[in-house]
Structure 1
Amino acid sequence: MFEKVFHLKENQTNIKTECIAGVTTFMTMAYILAVNPSILSSAGMNPTAVLLATCLASFLGTVCMGLMANLPFALSAGMGLNAFFAYTVCGNMGYPWQAALLAVFIEGLIFIILSVTNIREALFNVIPLSLKKAVSVGIGVYIAFIGLQNAGVVVNSDSTLVTIVSFRGDFHTGGICALLAILGILFTAFLYIKHVKGSILIGILATWVLGIICQLTGLYTVNPDAGYNSLLPAFAMTDFSALGDTFGQCFRFDFDGVSIINFIVVIFSFLFVDIFDTLGTLIGVCNKANMLDKEGKLKQIKPALMADAIATSAGAILGTSTTTTFVESSAGVAEGGRTGLTAIVTALLFLISMLFAPIFIAIPSFATAPALVIVGFLMFSSITEIKFTGENMIKAIPAYLCILAMPLFYSISEGISIGIISYVVLHLVSGKAKEVKPLMYILAVLFILKYIFL
């Protein structure tokens, strides 16, 4: 049966190799089960409901990838997209999380339409490569900043806006949490350098355990009124009824007092990042696995994108942010995973993880900070593919502005819009208007109108 469905011999693999690859992929991306509830709960969502929705959406999307495209890739709530959901759409823009879920659902439907047409390629090709790389870099810096902020390493300053925490002041609460986060980052980085499988997940758990030891020895003081709760996990049965707090809530949003134009901008911001994140991940991982043809194309690209799009809309209905293909799938590929059987194994592990929801939910923010910082580093590495000298400066400066805007303006969408506007303007004033594709001008005008009227 496995041979008939997944063509193992044709792909020069076997059941044992595929299973090991599936477990490896899960280990490298299981950190999302701790990080995603932590991020989305800041938007007012029930963290247990978010975890259950994330597990189900990951299971559904990864099964679709395995069966529809026969590729060894896993899907889950995308890093960066969940931050955009919580901190930009629900935070800066003030939308309720139900509205953000609706935007994700609609974005998924648009993605489904694009996945069966050639529009997807047109959108992908119109954005210059330098800006595509800049979006990845900017998101990396942005989520690393969020991780340091959530851990209390970066704090508010009236004179400089942000500064490093005073470790000596309130050492037994904020100070020790910040110190544990820094130690966790260094430990996770060490594991990653040594190519330890599941290094990010191990880093989260090790940081948490170290925090528990600090609590038991009195270095960490529990103070619920100040937001410093007990670090000891609650061993209890998963409350599966919590899923009702988010399931279908995207259809219960009232548009009274909401700008439709602004809401459309939110939808296309989700869509933009999702498209380029997914395509970039697929191309990058497939290239490492020698799955691309002589022309550098992936013949299963349409079913792969369709699986991603279905998972996004389904995840929004369940109650989680955009579900997308994870670059950590490359860990399973490195272990020999070549078919959809790898994805199926990973999907089943996500489903089983629902039983351990209380443990994942209990993980504190300072323990998830190392994951955000290290994943941010992995995304930041794309900066080496942007050329900053000579004639390339006209493309590099907009990329730089895009990267700079995301953490400083606390918004992925602002970075994207500033990058596109500056790219078009600099080409116009430099006499290179013909090098800019017509659709870029349309996007630039739309973003300018957003700043004028919204």
Structure 2
Amino acid sequence: MHFSERLFKLKDHKTDVKTEVNAGIVTFMTMAYIVIVNPAILVAAGIPIGPSMVATIITAVFGTLIMGIYANRPFAIAPYMGENAFIAYTVCGVLGYSWQTALGAVFISGILLALLTIAGGRKVMCEAIPTNLKYSFSVGIGLFIAFIGLVNSKIVALGTESAPLHLGDLGSPEVILAIFGFLLISTLTVRKIKGAILVGILATSLIGFISGIAAVPEAIVSVPPDITPVLFQLDIAGALTWGFFAVILTIFTMSFLDTMAGLIGISAQAGFLDEKGNLPEVEKPFLSDAVANIIAPLVGTTTSGAFAESATGIRAGGRTGLTAVVVAVLFALCLFFSPVLTSIPSAATGPAMIMVGLLMTQPIKKMNFSDYSEMIPAIAVIVLMSFTYNIGVGLCSGFVLYPLFKTVGGKWKEISRPTWFLFALCLLFFIFYPY
């Protein structure tokens, strides 16, 4: 215990081992779905599900351990949702490239991110982001997380072209269970009960198992599938072609901005940002993310980075890398206990995501709405993150619109050179994005 307290400087962060462990469990339970969902998406690219699941877990374990031990931050790393779909459905499905070549592009992107981080470029870019946009990241990601939670718990359902979304079937036992879970977590949160989210997830899951709404796991322990079919199978040479430039640019931009937004958004919620809205020692979590992006394609999966679901553990009190280490350990257990750990129903995790998302929108009160040149780009970020189901698209829209409206408003002197660089990068993103 004493070793953990010294290693992660628990007293300096006004936390303790019990709180950090609880936070790690909460974070893991809200993002454990990635173990099943990521392989289910990547199978469309031709990547076999069993080995893909192992690759997903290994990436999460190594990336999160690096984040916890090196950066001492409570951020968990795993393959990104959105990027995996881009690889599976666009790069491999529409454009017809092999998954090996796509992973080669992910690897190149990871190398570029690492070099940019070591050179200090990512820190400069991060600190150059206008304050209003920084707050919009937290609000936008919060709305995005809440939206995912609503969809996953089926409280919100897909509709028709004329009405893309509509209210789910409130008579469905699964939806009723999800609503109960949300009300329980909300009540515990209002009452300021410690571990409210974790208690809510466990209680809702237990009710789901007992009632038969959720399937009880058939086994407790399982042998991990063989990872050989995807291990070191990336095709770097195939990705180093002019025709693949647009794909590499898109992957790089999405990874660069998704992690930036995630770290800033989560940190704003946790109170980690300084008086200028910057994250102290941001280069450490950035480098952890870059290393994870290099590991991921080597073991057989797609772009990885800091998960927005880390906010759930932070809301539960997580403040140091010990939270991340706990998440990594639980992911490692998934190799052998995946039937149990991944049996938690979406009716239990969905409500937790809704609550966390709602809580993450609080920085909206700090945003400047009186200056339209500040307000319009920020609102574009918030809205497009959810309505396009793509954090990268929302971010890029903000970085493109910000300098445009500042210039139109005669305030072009307020735009820094790094902000113009982000404008150019995001403009290229929209130009070359394989729609």
TM-score w.r.t. the length of structure 1 is 0.75
Q: 1:358 to 1:251 in 2, by over 3 A?
A: farther
Contact 2:136 2:379 in 1 (8 A): yes
User: Match for residue 274 of structure 1?
Assistant: 259
Structure 1 counterpart of 2:38, one-letter code: L
Distance apart, 1:349 and its partner CA: 4.5
Q: Describe how 1:2-401 pairs up with structure 2 within 5 A.
A: 7=6, 19-45=17-43, 52-69=54-71, 71=72, 73-77=74-78, 82-87=80-85, 90-91=88-89, 94=93, 102=104, 104-152=106-154, 153-167=156-170, 175-215=172-212, 231-244=215-228, 246-248=230-232, 250-251=234-235, 259-278=244-263, 281=266, 285=270, 287=272, 298=280, 301-318=282-299, 319=301, 321-324=303-306, 326-327=310-311, 330=314, 334=317, 344=325, 347-389=328-370, 392-401=371-380
CA deviation map 1:176-218 (0-9, x unaligned):
2222222222222233334444433443333333333333xxx
Structure 1 counterpart of 2:77, one-letter code: S
For 1:257 and 1:194, the matched residues in 2 are separated by 58
CA deviation map 1:233-267 (0-9, x unaligned):
12242231254465445548965996521431222
Q: 1:241 to 1:190 in 2, by over 3 A?
A: same
1:440 aligns with 2:419: yes
Moved more, 204-213 or 441-450: 441-450
Moved more, 44-53 or 308-317: 44-53
| Number of matched pairs | 419
Identity among equivalent pairs (%) = 27
Q: 1:141 to 1:74 in 2, by over 3 A?
A: closer
Structure 1 counterpart of 2:216, one-letter code: L
For 1:360 and 1:349, the matched residues in 2 are separated by 9
CA deviation map 1:261-308 (0-9, x unaligned):
1431222111112134235556775749xxx8999874x554444334
For 1:238 and 1:451, the matched residues in 2 are separated by 44
User: Match for residue 224 of structure 1?
Assistant: none
Bigger CA radius of gyration: 1
For 2:384 and 2:275, the matched residues in 1 are separated by 37
Q: Secondary structure at the match of 2:215?
A: coil
CA deviation map 1:382-415 (0-9, x unaligned):
32221212xx332111101121112222222221
User: Match for residue 419 of structure 1?
Assistant: 398
Gaps of 5+ in 1: 169-174, 221-229
Distance apart, 1:29 and its partner CA: 0.9
Distance apart, 1:124 and its partner CA: 1.0
Distance apart, 1:316 and its partner CA: 4.2
Contact 2:108 2:248 in 1 (8 A): no
Gaps of 5+ in 2: none
TM-score w.r.t. the length of structure 2 is 0.78
Contact 1:124 1:276 in 2 (8 A): no
Q: CA RMSD in A?
A: 4.0
Q: 1:210 to 1:103 in 2, by over 3 A?
A: farther
Q: 1:360 to 1:6 in 2, by over 3 A?
A: closer
Q: Secondary structure at the match of 2:127?
A: helix
Distance apart, 1:36 and its partner CA: 1.6
